[in-house]
Structure 1
């Protein structure tokens, strides 16, 4: 990626712009936020972990969906790979590992920015990095599956629409409890909500049983997603 370094930089800058716009901009109007358990935190400290979790999701989704789609649909990269002893499962794992490496640059850069602005309230915040990598891993199977399901570039607009919906309403900017009762189950079902809940709990030093539910949900999402993805890849690459 040394000749495409601007792509890496742009991924980190996007999250920084979200932080300035929503964290500091809207945060200056909101002030402090009282969480359901009574803890009072600044709105910026509340939003920053959610933006971090979103960066983890977006980095891996872009790499495993759009880029993988281009490689097997137009560039035919995998045709040569499969003429070696490597199989579709190896391709899937290789793409996931690279997506995690690329995503780590976004995550690491943003965690440093959070530290510089004093948004890490606990030593537990160090665990936000592996937590974000876990979030990215959970979405990797989804990205690979979508790369095999979509047939044209315009299909990715549907993915972007769903991702943007999760970003806006997945607990990023306000506690889920503030939504109407009939909408809360929909939010709890969103994959990004569980990523945000996990990263936010670690960043704010608030360990609670719900975090185990988040971990189990994301782990199940990764296992099922990767199982479907490698089967779909095998079908697409061998047809």
Structure 2
């Protein structure tokens, strides 16, 4: 049942009107809604793990050790962080695109939530928060598999878990921001049109040196490249200080995404 909104509420509300500090309520609602859908939650982890095991056993046997900016690495060790970053992107975008569009345009769930003390930023942070919870679970399992394969036996790999969560945060914010501008279901194809090339061209499977020089500036501007580089550097055990720039890039996307999404939801739901 849709609860009508008061017409005097406007998107120009001060920040305290947009944010009530109760985003955890939205995360709890999502957790309860998914408590019997564990197979659905695990489905997003099957594909990257299959890629890791199959490509590592085939291409890895042919390629041998690879020379990277973080030192020599086996192909499995090189591929693992890239697939982890790609999985974080895919799961976060899935949680903040199709499902958010349904709640925004069809079920009108957000109209109901805004009839409570929640504000638009609470809803945005709550939806992204659930994507982070799911992403953290994926990352923990994936890193456990890499460790079991002997490809992430370094204390630096412990920092790969928060780095993976940061990646999920950045893409959840980016995905939800884009979704607030979508008009119908057909527009979701635009998101797939962006994420598929990003997964292939962000040094996930091959080092940057394998790409034509003309593509290097484009690849280095893509958010997934920064996530891959950050995770690969940490899992290698030989991180460089400039990985902080990669982390900062992702944090900036997350912060801007939260602000823009909050304002967009206010415009769409409170006007």
TM-score normalised by length of structure 1: 0.95
Superposition CA RMSD, Å = 1.4
Residue-by-residue CA offset, 1:66-102 (whole Å, 9 max, x unaligned):
1111111111111111111211011111111111111
Structure 2's unaligned 5+ residue stretches are 1-33
Structure 2 residue 124 is the aligned partner of structure 1 residue 92: yes
What's the counterpart of residue 65 of structure 1? 97
The structure richer in helix per residue is: 1
Q: Which deviates further from its counterpart, 78-87 or 190-199?
A: 78-87
- Residue 202 of structure 2 is matched in structure 1 by 170
Query: How many equivalent residue pairs?
Result: 238
Q: Which residue of 1 aligns with 2:15?
A: none
- List gaps (5 residues or longer) in structure 1: none
The residue number in structure 1 matching 2:253 is 221
Say if 2:18 is the partner of 1:18: no
Is contact 1:72–1:78 with CA below 8 Å preserved after alignment?
yes
Distance between the aligned counterparts of 1:54 and 1:200, measured in 2? 12
Shift of 1:105: 1.6
Structure 1 177/93 Cα, relative in aligned 2: closer, same or farther at 3 Å?
same
Task: Give the alignment of 1:35-54 within 5 angstroms.
Answer: 35-36=68-69, 39-54=71-86
Larger-Rg structure: 2
Partner Cα distance (2:58, 2:197) in 1: 21
- In 2, the alpha carbon distance for the partners of 1:3 and 1:121 equals 34
Bigger mean CA offset, 40-49 vs 116-125: 116-125
Higher relative contact order, structure no. (Cα contacts within 8 Å, ≥ 6 residues apart) = 2
Q: Are 1:179 and 2:237 counterparts?
A: no
Report whether the alignment pairs 1:6 with 2:39.
Answer: yes
- Stretches of 4+ aligned residues off by more than 3 angstroms: none
2:73 alignment partner, SS class: strand
Q: Does 1:32 align with 2:59?
A: no
**Does the 8 A contact of 2:66 with 2:75 survive in 1?**
yes
Q: Distance in 2 between matches of 1:24 and 1:69?
A: 39
Distance 2:265 2:56 in 1: 40
